[in-house]
Amino acid sequence: MTVPILAVTSGEPAGIGPDICLDLPEADLPCRCVVLGDKTLLQARAQALGKSVQLQDYDAARAPAAGVLEVLHIPLRTPCEAGRLSTENAPYVLQLLDRAYEGVQAGEFAALVTAPLHKGILNDAGIAFTGHTEYLAEKSGTDQVVMMLAGGGLRVALATTHLPLKDIAAAINRPLIESVATILAQDLRSKFGVKNPNILVTGLNPHAGEGGHLGHEEIDIIIPALEALRAGGMNIHGPYPADTLFQPFMLQGADAVLAMYHDQGLPVLKYASFGKGVNITLGLPFVRTSVDHGTALTLAGSGKADSGSLIVAVDTALAMAQHHRA
């Protein structure tokens, strides 16, 4: 039986990405995890953390022994110190992502898992970058992708992602709601094995607009979109007030919640699962998951970084890839 090979990008070299990748051999996962990164950096970080991790150069035809970390070496542009960002290494961070993308598209890797990168330093280096999700969508020529986080018994997808709060209402429209919900339902079926996904949708405004007294987006946009989706056979319900939807009795039997914006749905999920959650990009022609946290520069090299979210991200990616392949 062929063991699946997953690509794991180590992300921002000054952050905790390299630290948490070093824990992968101890996780005893039923797959091969190939870490993309600078081998010298990983060795130095292991030494600084007191981790006795043996590294082996990646060879698709040769699986490593148990407890050995496979590394696809991509060299840094300049030496890196834990916690200290450098714009000179911004191209290196994207090189990791590009190589992993090429491998997953070619079938070399069964899925792509990403450690955190630092969007600010990429933009400071003159690279227009809004996030992994948007970057991979553009690379793959995918018109529409959906960000979903899972953990703590919840799956929360987002209609909009990294937008300033003042721009969200203008971005919400019927085609967006219908396309995001369709991708969510399709991937719940094809990548999670949910036969008839039950999706609950939040309103945009407080109290879901309270019959138009607190906003008209629910009446004018969200309700007509959900009616059209139900008419097409989708099992989707709402819009519900976001402040009362996230209760056990409301979520019973739900497979996912579709929230209108980032800070509406994700605080609840992260409260329930932080450090054990996983970020998932839906709509791509391959499986991509990520950790639910950032680069944590102050923890890099300290030995205090928790690799739990990365382990869950790998485990989730493997399960999704198996459903996707089937």
Whether residue 279 is annotated as binding a ligand: the answer is: yes
Quick one: pLDDT at residue 109? 97
Residue 253 amino acid letter? G
For residues 148 and 158, what is the distance between their CA atoms, to the nearest angstrom? 6
pLDDT in 10s for each residue of the chain, 326 residues: 588 999 999 999 999 999 999 999 999 889 999 999 999 999 999 999 999 999 999 999 998 888 899 999 999 999 999 999 999 999 999 999 999 999 999 999 999 999 999 999 999 999 999 889 889 999 999 999 999 999 989 999 999 988 999 999 999 999 999 999 999 999 999 999 999 999 999 999 999 999 999 999 999 999 999 999 999 999 999 999 999 999 999 999 999 999 999 999 999 998 988 778 899 999 999 999 999 899 999 999 999 999 999 999 999 999 999 998 77
Can you give the pTM of this predicted structure?
A: 0.91
Whether residue 288 is annotated as binding a ligand: the answer is: yes
Whether residue 270 is annotated as binding a ligand: the answer is: yes
Whether residue 304 is annotated as binding a ligand: the answer is: no
For residues 252 and 263, what is the distance between their CA atoms, to the nearest angstrom? 22
Whether residue 198 is annotated as binding a ligand: the answer is: no
Whether residue 133 is annotated as binding a ligand: the answer is: yes
The DSSP element (H or E) to which 302 belongs, if any, is none
Tokens describing residue 66? 């148990």
For residues 229 and 248, what is the distance between their CA atoms, to the nearest angstrom? 25
